[in-house]
Amino acid sequence: MNKTNTEAAEFVSKLIGQIRTEDKFEVIVCPPFTALEKICDITSGSNIKVGAQNAFYEDKGAYTGEISVNMLKDIGVEYVILGHSERRHIFQENDELINKKLKKVIVSGLTPILCVGEKLEEREKGLTFNVVEKQIKEAFYGLTQEEASKIIIAYEPVWAIGTGKVATPNQAQEVHKFIRDLLKNIFNEEFAKNTTILYGGSIKPNNYLGLFGKTDIDGGLVGGASLTEDFVELAKIMKEIIE
Ligand SMILES: O=C[C@H](O)COP(=O)(O)O
């Protein structure tokens, strides 16, 4: 819930031209619903893509306050974040609801970015892998391999989101490898290899290099740093790493 329509438009207008992407790397901005249409217009024909921060699983009807995937597609949105920890913990979204939303987003042809991650007390009790495994298995429930191949996963330890406490590259890599091995078990090695797994949680230009250098970390889901010039800096770092 950051940036008004006007502020988001001003910010993204500046980003275009400052951010160069390559085939191997994409930049997606996910503003609030109120700014989506304008940002889709501004980024049209540019190298920046647009995602929503949530969506509902029904097409239309008496669901006051909800936004359907068709509403998003109609204005040019291509990605949808689902299961963000704030949706799970502040708005009580459970795995069953996230699974329904995920199915809807996939069937609609949009690309879901599925967030998973443990809370601090779960990490301290040694439950990180159990939590992440349950979230992924329940989100994937009933999906075919082809459907599941559309999903981008974002590992976001809840204790690192907006706290300034970034996971160390080794802590993040350990969970990313666990996720990749889990995907291998659910489907197969090829599927696991081809799935994009992002890290999110207090990413800044001064800590991202170490994270992205790890084998199983394919990119970032950036919160606070995506609201400032730091985002341009991060994109430059990504480009240098890829080249
Ligand atoms: O939505 C973004 C992620 O939750 C990370 O947020 P953050 O970079 O502010 O910690």
Nearest atom within ligand 1 for CA of residue 161 = 10
CA atoms of 216 and 196, how far apart (whole Å): 9
| pLDDT, tens only, 125-179 | 999 999 999 999 999 999 999 999 999 999 999 999 989 888 999 999 999 999 9
Q: In the structure encoding, which two tokens stand for residue 55, read together?
A: 């969506």
CA atoms of 119 and 159, how far apart (whole Å): 6
| pLDDT, tens only, 12-71 | 999 988 887 666 778 999 999 999 999 999 999 888 999 999 999 999 999 999 999 999
Q: Is the pTM of this model over 0.90?
A: yes
Residues 6 or more apart from 84 whose CB is under 8 A from it? 53, 54, 115, 156
pLDDT at 161: 92
The DSSP secondary-structure symbol of 125 reads T
CATH code where residue 208 lies: 3.20.20.70
| 29 CB near ligand 1 (under 6 Å) | no
Q: Is residue 91 over pLDDT 70?
A: yes
pLDDT at 41: 98
* C-alpha of residue 40 to centroid of ligand 1, in Å: 22
pLDDT at 130: 98
DSSP H helices, 120-163, are: 120-124, 128-139, 145-148
The residue to mutate among 156, 166, 204, 207, having the most atoms of ligand 1 within 8 angstroms of its beta carbon, is 156
Domain boundaries, position 195: 5-242
Question: Looking at ligand 1, which residue's alpha carbon is closest to its atom 3?
Answer: 223
**Catalytically annotated residue among 93, 118, 156, 176:** 156
51 labeled binding residue:
no
pLDDT at 23: 62
| pLDDT, tens only, 171-228 | 999 999 999 999 999 999 999 999 999 999 999 999 988 999 999 999 999 999 999 9
Question: Looking at ligand 1, which residue's alpha carbon is closest to its atom 6?
Answer: 223
In the chain, the number of structural domains is 1
224 labeled binding residue:
yes
